[in-house]
Amino acid sequence: MSESEEDLKLYEQPDFINIILLILNISLFVLKLLFGILTKSIALQADAFDSMTDIVMCLTALIGILFTKKKPNEKFPYGYYKMENIISLFISLFIFITAFYIFLQSFLDIINFFNGKMKIVEFSSSLFFFLIISLLVSLFITLYLKLISKKTHSPIIESEANEKLFDIFISVSVLIGFLGVFLKFYLLDSIVGFFIVFFIIKGGYYIFITSIKTLLDAVIDFDNRTELFHLIETTPKIKKIENIEIRSYGRYIFLELELGLAKDFPLFQIDHLKNMLTNKIKKKFPQIFKIIIIIHSHEKIIKTIAVPLENNLGLNSKISEHYGECSYFGFLDFQEGTLLKFEIIANKFVNEEKR
Query: Would residue 353 count as lying in a domain?
Result: no
pLDDT at 331 over 90: yes
Same domain, 136 and 266: no
Least confident among 166-180, 214-228, 237-251, 322-336: 214-228
Phi, psi of 309 (to 5 degrees): -125, 150
**Taking Cα atoms as reference points, which of 199, 195, 203, 193 lies closest to residue 36?**
193
The verdict on pTM exceeding 0.85 is no
Say yes or no: 198 and 312 in one domain: no
Q: Which residues, other chains included, contact 281 with Cβ-Cβ below 8 Å and sequence gap of 6+? A: 228, 231, 232, 255, 288, 291
pLDDT at 2: 43
Percent of the chain with pLDDT over 90: 3
Q: Percentage of the chain surpassing pLDDT 70?
A: 79
Amino acid occupying residue 205:
Y
Query: What SS3 class is residue 91?
Result: helix
Mapped onto helix, strand or coil, the DSSP state of residue 218 is coil
Burial of 323 (0-12, 13-18, 19+ CB in 10 A): exposed
Q: Residues 204, 315: one domain?
A: no
Q: How far is CA 223 from CA 1, 217, 227, in A?
A: 19, 18, 9
CA 45 to chain centre: 32
Ranking 148-157, 184-193, 303-312 by mean pLDDT, the lowest is 148-157
- List the domain range (segments joined by +) for residue 96: 5-215
The kind and range of the H/E element at 98 are helix 83-114
Instruction: Give the pLDDT band (50/70/90) at residue 330.
Output: very high
Q: How far is residue 305's CA from residue 302's CA, in Å, rounded to a whole number?
A: 10
Q: Are 213 and 85 in contact (CB under 8 A)?
A: no
Are 102 and 10 members of one domain?
yes
pLDDT digits (tens, 9 = 90+) for 247-292: 776 556 788 888 887 776 777 788 888 888 888 888 888 778 788 8
Left (φ > 0), alpha (ψ -120 to 50) or beta: where does 163 sit?
alpha
- For residues 164 and 35, state if they share a domain: yes
User: Are 206 and 313 within one domain?
Assistant: no
- Sequence-ordered list of residues with C-beta below 8 angstroms from that of 207, at least 6 positions apart, any chain: 53, 56, 88, 89, 91, 92, 95
The answer as to whether 50 is a domain residue is yes
- For the stretch 61-91, pLDDT in tens is 777 667 666 666 666 666 666 766 776 677 6
Average pLDDT over residues 168-179: 78
Mean pLDDT of the 135-158 span: 76
| Domain co-membership, 44 together with 186 | yes
Asked whether residue 4 carries a pLDDT value surpassing 60, the answer given is: no
Do 66 and 192 lie in a common domain?
yes
Number of domains in the chain: 3
Residues 206 and 276 in one domain: no
- What confidence tens digit (pLDDT) does each residue in 144-154 have? 887 877 776 66
Confirm if 305 and 293 have CB atoms less than 8 A apart.
Answer: no
Task: Give me the mean pLDDT over the 307-336 stretch.
Answer: 87
* Same domain membership, residue 92 and residue 160: yes
Residue 355 lies in a domain: no
pLDDT at 307: 92
Domain of 115: which CATH number? 1.20.1510
Could you tell me which of 129, 126, 161, 134 has the C-alpha nearest to residue 47? Answer: 134
User: Are 50 and 136 members of one domain?
Assistant: yes
Q: Which of 168-172, 242-246, 316-320 has the lowest mean pLDDT?
A: 168-172
* Cα dihedral 170, 175, 179, 181 sign: positive
Radius of gyration, CA atoms only, the chain: 34
3 state DSSP class of 350: coil
pLDDT at 7: 62
Determine the 3-state secondary structure of 212 from DSSP: helix
- pLDDT beyond 60 at 114: yes
Where a domain ends, among 265, 281, 297? 297
Coil, strand or helix: which one is 294?
strand
Confidence (pLDDT) at 347: 86
d(CA 26, CA 161) in angstroms, rounded, equals: 17
138 occurs within a structural domain: yes
Note whether 124 and 250 are same-domain residues.
Answer: no
Determine, yes or no, domain membership for 354: no
Q: Is 131 domain-assigned?
A: yes
Residue 54 in any domain: the answer is yes
Mapped to the 3 state alphabet, what secondary structure does 226-271 carry?
Answer: HHHHHHHHCCCCEEEEEEEEEEEECCEEEEEEEEEECCCCCHHHHH
- Tens-digit pLDDT profile for residues 23-52: 988 988 888 888 888 888 877 887 887 777
Q: Is residue 351 part of a domain?
A: no
Backbone angles phi, psi at 222, to 5 degrees: -85, 125
